[in-house]
Structure formats: structure tokens, C-alpha cells
Structure 1
Amino acid sequence: MKKIFEYTDYREWLRDAFEDFKQRKTVISWRYMAMKMGADPGNLLRVSQGKIHLPLSLIQPAADFFELEGKEADYWAEMVYFGRAKTDADALQHYERMQALKGVSLKLLQKKELEFYRHWYYNAIRSVIGICKFKDDYQGLAESCTPNITEKEARDAVKLLADLNMISTDRDGYWKVNDTFVSTGGNWRSQAVRAFQHETIRLADESLDRHQPFLRDISTVTMTFCMDDIQLLREKINAFREDLLRLSQEGTDDDTVFQLNIQMFPLAFTKPLKEKGK
């Protein structure tokens, strides 16, 4: 079983921990676990299935049952709070604590720093600097972007990143990235971030013609779900995104900057039709 710090979805961890416990210890059932935790067996199973949330009163009993201590117990609690968060601010607060507990640095952008999201290549150049030795070859930096940008745009990007203290120079004059990840915090609905998302979606569209198929993975699928399952789908998408972020952080021979856009949105609502057909 993966370490608890590799999870962001507390329900997924609960399911895996249950199966691991069953293999390591003895025959176990959700009823037995619920009895030990002082919980309702049916509700505990529904929690694991993503249908309801774990009551806050069961955070500590669950930690005790799975013998979580120290940072693991703290991470478990924050993961539950994160999964139950109803606002961006609450979600961000608990997400930050989760990152701190597993040692991932997170730089929060203040509102004035949202200039970072004005153009897609600011983020790209910051990532390039993180994996390449760069000093003053701004033309080469500009040409490394796809599509290419101008030398002036590359210079302006480096200046902005330096002003925001996202990058700095080392003793030899080479630029380096100061923080591992960047988050917009509770400001993700701002116009600046929406503009950035529009730009990256546009780039994904252009990639169909700009890049050979082996350089990209753009696929589409149309599915049907119950509207009540949307939150569970969002949690699974978030867990997938976090897995890729962790792989990116652990990489040592990175040589390419990728942009990942995960797009899920409704195409049709059938509930009115169903009601008419009753």
C-alpha cells in the first residue's frame, strides 16, 4: 500500500487501508471496523464509496483503528477536512497543511502577483529555468517555447519572475527556481486566472496542428453520470493531477515542459426530459 502522504482523497486512502488491513491482520469487515470506531456500518461503507462524507467525530477513531500517529495522523485529519471543504479558502488552507506535512513547498500568490498568469509563457519559462542552466541567452530561451516568443517577451518574463521572487541567481549568475509549486489560492476565480486558462486551452487546440501525435496526448470521451457523482469525479481528477505533480517534482532528468489541461463539462441535461416522460 502507498504511504498516506501520497493520497489527497481520504476516501481512496480509507478503501486502500481497509484492504491492506484485511491482508495483514485478519478477516475484517466494514461492520467490525465500524463497531471498533463507534460508527454506523452502513454509513461507513457509504463513506468509502464516496456517497457521503466521514463525520468529523470519526477522524480520531479512524486514526486509532489504523494506528496512525504523529504526522500521519495529522495528515489524515487534514485530508478529511480538505475533502469536506465547502469553500476555496477552506480547501486551500487544508491543502497547504497537507503539503507542509509531506514537505512540499507551496508559494501562494497575492492578488498583485496574479500578473504571473497574464501570459502562458511566464509559467513555461519558469519551468524551463527549473530544468535548464540559463544565464543570458534570451533568444534561446524564447525559441525553446512552443510556439516561439520574442526575445523581449523572454526578458520581460524573467524580470517578472525575479520581481516576484520566484527565481533568483546563484553564485555563478545562473537563474534558479525558488519554489517548487505555485498556487493562486482563493483567487482562482479571478479574471487573470481565467484568462490564463483560456490561453492554455487555446494552446491545446493549436497543438493538434502544431505538434506530431507522439509529442502530445489529446483525447476526448463522452460519458454519462449521475449529477450526484460529480464531486466524486472532481476528487478523482484532483488525485490524478496530484499524482502527476508528484512525479514532476521527483523527476531528475526532465528536459521538456508540458501543460496539462483536464477538461470536464456538461454537454446536455436530461432531467427535464425524464420528468416529461413520466
Structure 2
Amino acid sequence: MKEIIEYTDYRKFIQDYYDERKRCSAFSWHAFAQKAGFSSDVYLKYVCEGKKNLSIASAGSVATAMGLVGFEYDYFILMVSYAHAKSDTAKRAAFEERCALAQAHKIRVLGNEEFDYFKSWKNSVIRELAPHMPGAKPLEMAKACRQKISAAEVSETLDFLVKAKLLKKDRSGNYQQTDKAIVMGSVDAVPVAARELQRQMGEFAIQSLDLPLSERMMSGYTLGLTRRAYERIRKETEDYFRRVVAIATEDDETERVYRLNVQLFPMSERLGKKNEDKKGR
């Protein structure tokens, strides 16, 4: 499913959301309507078909039911406002506000042509750090990193990020992000580099176990799953990451650079007998 800022029609967005959930689970219009607080099982289906409209009040309930937060929630409301504005002035205002929101929260998806970005943790960390250290020299940025990196490596990383148009330099020599967030495209598009970055970040996660509990959050579950359950969990995780990115891009300021890892991987071979899903901690 595309990022929400690529949509202009709220009906199309709802339909795509439903179709994607339906592919991965037993999701139904009935379940969707209940979650959004509608008494009619087919109301949202009729909305997608253009037979019914959403009010601004009900738009908020639908956005929440779809798990939208932050700017994604606001963007969805603006799509509904634009679609049902009763005057040209109101329509223009909703359109301009929606465009401004999309521009402010532009998310860049990196793929094969920019695979070098995924080769090292230094690129993502320095990209987040540099814009929030105006006037800082490479050595100062190096000292701000918890992982070992030299001033020369910081300079090299900054040069790469500017060349790749992931950072830009203003007239004062300070760095600004060209996009508020970067997400990885299909891992198949950047297989080697993506695996290497994930390996590095996994090692850093192990090292972070020595940090105080107030500075890191970790938990894990051992689960017995069917393939269907696995696909549902993977979809829920993708939705979760989307919501995290939306929350992270709400603020223009940064106090600290974090890394969020979520892993789901097999701990046994595939069993011949199909068992019911089980879980244990």
C-alpha cells in the first residue's frame, strides 16, 4: 500500500487499506465498521463505492480504526474535508493545507539506486544528527555518536549524504534534511547492503543491553505460528512502523538519535503437522 501522502481520494485510501488487510487476514467490512463505530456493516463499503459520504466527525473514527496517527491522521481528515467542502474557499483551504502537510512530511523511499546508504550505520545516524548540531565540526559530531567513528569518517559521510541529496547545506554551512523521513524499499532491491545494515544494528542492540532500563526498551516473545499468522503479524508490524514514522516526523527538533529494531525469525524447522497457534514468553 502506498504512503498516505500519495493519495488525494480518501475513498481510494480506505479501499486500499481494506484490500490489503483482507489479503493478510479474515478482515471484513463488518469488523471494519465495528472498529470505526458504525452500526451498519456495509457503511464503509458504500463509502468506497461513492454511495455514502464521511462526515468530519466520522472521518476521525475511521482514521483511528485504520491506526492513523500524527500527520497521517490529519492528512486523512483533510482529504475528507476537501472532498465534501461546500464552497470553493473551503475547498481551496483544505487543498492547500493538505499539500502543505504532504510537503512537510515527505517521506523518501530508498531503493536499488541508493543502496550505498544502507552499507553503514554511519549514514543514517549522521543524517539524523547533523541537522540538529548547527555549527558543529565533524569531530564534535563524532563525539556525539555512541558508536566509534572518526572525524574523517564523519566528513566522508556528510559528503556522501549531500551528494546523494539526503542532506543539503545552507548558506551558513549548516545541514538540513531533504526529506523528513527515509524508509527502506523492498529488501529485495537492496539485498546485500540491507542485510549488512541490519547486521550492524543488531550488534549495536546487543551492546545496548548494558544501558540503564530508562534509556532502552527491549522485550521478546517466542511464538508458535502458522504461515497465515506469520503473514498477519508481518502486516501488523509494517503498519506499526508506518505509525512510528508518522509520530517521529511530528517534531522538528531532535534530542537524541535512536534506532528501533523489530525482528521476527524462525527458531525451528517447519513442522509437518499443522498445529494451532501457540505462544509463550
TM-score over 0.5 for the pair: yes
Partner of 1:155, secondary structure, is: helix
Other-structure match for 1:233: 233
Match of 1:197 in 2: 198
Are 1:106 and 1:180, in contact at CA under 8 Å, matched by a contact in 2? yes
Q: 1:253 to 1:184 in 2, by over 3 A?
A: closer
Contact 2:161/2:167 (CA < 8 Å) preserved in 1? Answer: yes
Equivalences for 1:101-140 in 2 at 5 Å? 103=102, 104-109=105-110, 111-130=112-131, 132-140=132-140
| Alignment map for 1:1-278 (pairs within 5 Å) | 10=18, 11=21, 15=31, 17-22=33-38, 28-30=39-41, 33=42, 60-61=48-49, 64-65=51-52, 67=54, 103=102, 104-109=105-110, 111-130=112-131, 132-186=132-186, 187-209=188-210, 211-269=211-269, 271-273=271-273
Cα distance change, pair 119–217 in 1 and its aligned pair in 2 (3 A): same
Amino acid at match of 1:171: R
- Contact 1:105–1:181, Cα closer than 8 Å, also in 2: yes
Identity over aligned residues, as a percent? 19
C-alpha distance 17-199 of structure 1, shift in aligned 2 (>3 A)? same
Q: CA deviation at 1:193?
A: 1.2
- Are the counterparts in 2 of residues 9 and 236 from structure 1 also a CA contact under 8 Å? no
Q: CA deviation at 1:248?
A: 0.6
Shift of 1:225: 2.7
Unaligned runs of 5+ in 2: 1-9, 22-26, 67-97, 276-281
Cα deviation 1:66-96 (Å, max 9, x = unaligned) = 5489xx9xxx9xx9xxxxxxxxxxxxxxxxx
User: Retained in 2: the 8 A contact 1:126–1:167?
Assistant: yes
1:40 is aligned to none
Deviation at 1:148, TM superposition (A): 2.8
Computed over aligned residues only, the root mean square deviation of the Cα atoms, in angstroms, reads 3.6
Q: CA separation in 1, counterparts of 2:53 and 2:34?
A: 9
Contact 1:9 1:235 in 2 (8 A): no
Gaps of 5+ in 1: 23-27, 38-57, 80-98
Give the whole-Å Cα distance in 2 for the aligned partners of 1:101 and 1:171.
24
Query: Cα distance, 1:106 vs. partner?
Result: 2.8
Q: CA, structure 1 residues 153+222, in 2 after alignment: closer, same or farther (shift >3 Å)?
A: same
Distance 1:13 1:201 in 2: 37
Deviations 1:195-233 (A, max 9, x none): 111111111111113x22221112221122332122211
Q: Separation in 2 of the partners of 1:29 and 1:110? A: 42
Q: CA deviation at 1:9?
A: 5.0
Q: Which residue type is aligned with residue 200 of structure 2? A: E
Indicate how the Cα distance of structure 1 residues 185 and 19 shifts in structure 2: closer, same or farther if over 3 A, else same: closer
Displacement of 1:153? 0.9
* Cα distance between partner residues in 2 of 1:64 and 1:102: 28
Structure 1 CA distance for aligned equivalents of residues 135 and 120 of structure 2: 22
- The 1:255/1:212 distance shift into structure 2, 3 A limit, reads same
Give, in whole Å, the separation in 1 of the partners of 2:140 and 2:113.
29
What secondary structure does 1:271 align onto?
coil
Q: Which SS does the other structure have where 1:182 is aligned?
A: strand
- 8 Å CA contact retained: 1:142, 1:150: yes
Cα shift at 1:19: 3.8
Please tell me whether the aligned partners of residues 134 and 174 of structure 1 are also in contact (alpha carbons under 8 angstroms).
yes
